[in-house]
Chains A and B, each alone.
Chain A
Amino acid sequence: MTEINQSIQSNTIVHPRYGCAIGAVNTVAAIPRGIPIANCGPGCADKQYFMLSFSNGFQGAGYSGGGAVPSSNVGENEIVFGGHKKLDELIKASLKIMDGDIFVVLTGCAVELIGDDVGAIVKEYQQKGYPVVHAEAAGFKGNNLVGHETVVKAIVDQYVGEYKGRKKKGLINLWFDVPYYHANWRGNNIELKRVLEGAGFKVNILFGSESAGTSEWKEIPKAQFNLVVSPWVGLDIAQHLEAKYKQPFLHVPIIPIGEEATTEFIRNVVAFAGIDNKKAEDFIKVEAERYYYFLEHFSEFFSEYWFGLPARFVSVGEAAYNLAITKYLTDQIGLIPAKQIITDNTPEKHRNNIRELFHGISDEFPLDVEFIEDGYLIEQQVKNVDYGSSVPLILGSSWESDVAKELNGLLIPISTPIVSEVVINRTYVGYTGALTLLEKIYSETVRG
């Protein structure tokens, strides 16, 4: 295997795999009746829409995303003279024209650099009782994952507000997928909520089709605890809530995929919450029986197929699904992890922990994990992997299409951007999602 000198990774990025902080307009649009207001140049929110929604499974942007997002579209005049007046007019008009329950102003690079005091403008609306929030979301401050955390904390602080009352036992705030970033986030939310409710919990899911919108956000402080299901995104939010509402959190870094992982996940959460486990165990029994009914059928294909199955795989994508899918395929299906590349610019402080989690997946195969964001270097790495005697299996983004073609391999899209599939309510997590993931990988295999 050819080793590439990591020192050649410079600032340069080609084939980007995330948007910038202003991409969190999609976080706001994922809250039912949440209205983002993009306080930035023209084009900023549009570009994030294309990364996170359109070129990411053609998800659509829903009620208030995409072309509906109000924006100050700042021009030369605002850059020179300031954008206060334009933003004030925009907020006022948004309250009148847009039919929403919460309005979140996200400030981008240009406005941040000219130093407009957006907080002061928004505060006037807050004092009059309007549900308006502001968040700093300049692209130079971080990517859309960081922007997501910033926006959530801003909504908690400026909209949800103080709470000193009692907690509701069994009520969970779930901090899981970043809306729109993982193309399956909508289906994933449905499955994880279903699993937790099946185990006897009530869940504030907060985004997507299963959320009740702002009324659910108002319930955040009442939850017994915060559940972070992700290796790093959302930890910052949970820590913030812990300090703010004295709410403990449980961190599950590996998203559960498959029966064994999901059952273990349920038991962990039940134990942490200290609720009666009867309902959870009954649920597990039904789910497990169903899962193995299908796995038994699948096993016939898996053991008898004459025409070749992939064995070694590389995975290229965000930390969360790279970790979860690598674990499932290695630990439950018996595929061989050959190279794992994390592309989400995981903050340095979380990287060692993530490396450890990967190393813990298998005693048999050393897991080679790298953090790279430059598509050129990623593609070089993917190209240089030893795929053994079977067809190369590449779990990645659509940017890996050229290298997959060159290797004559199978490309299964698992990370942003995805332009070879239309994603609606699909999931790869939990009990049902694992089976869909198998369907996907092996449908591609038999298609050849």
Chain B
Amino acid sequence: MRELIRNAKLRLLRMHFEARVGHIGGNLSALEMLMTLYHRVLAPDDLFVLSKGHSAGALYTTLWSVGKLREDDLVQFHQEGTSLSGHPPATGIPDVIFATGSLGHGLGLAAGLALGKRLKGAPGRVFCLLSDGEWNEGSTWESLIFAAHQRLDSLTLMIDLNGLQGFGSTREVADLGSLKEKLESFGLDVEAVDGHDALSLERALLQPPTGGRPRALVARSIKGHGVSFMERKMEWHYHPMAAEQYAEAVREVTES
């Protein structure tokens, strides 16, 4: 996995550099989660919703890594006439089942998928990756209440707890204290994990549901992970990389 993730990270950096787009920080915080999910966990009947749609680059790179997107696809990222828009598209990529990007939608969509599977008696789990800033959205809490009340135990939330949001840290903007404790108080089966440790993530994601409760992994992560000058810097939510920065990022990841 280590080598797979390193290659995906390099491809992600190149894709964002060549497209001259930002959002790289939150993509780097989520990449190990997506790579572990797609390489080690997802079964054919499982479904995934990327609620933090601004990490589309990490999703596209992961889909490329598992052979569901081609190199020819990735070079179209952010280009005219592309299916690989800056946030997941509604059409054009079979493995992307919902257009997301406005925060606060993904958990409800995933809950609907989990409910639908139960009503149909269909196999498979549903995974949803959310940001931590996304818990500012009231709709996310609506969906949490629903998922817990409906006992949607085929649903697993992954929360990218990188501590930074659009214009400040999560603590500065709307401090929720311990998200783990809050989710537990709603009746979820919650586990805190290292969001950059593929082995821990794999073990936690493969954990079967218990007692009719949805599962949630609160994954501590670092925005801009793996590139020292990006780590924990809010501006890398927005900035594209200059050529020198890209070269430095590649050097650091290659040598890691």
Q: Do A and B bind each other?
A: no
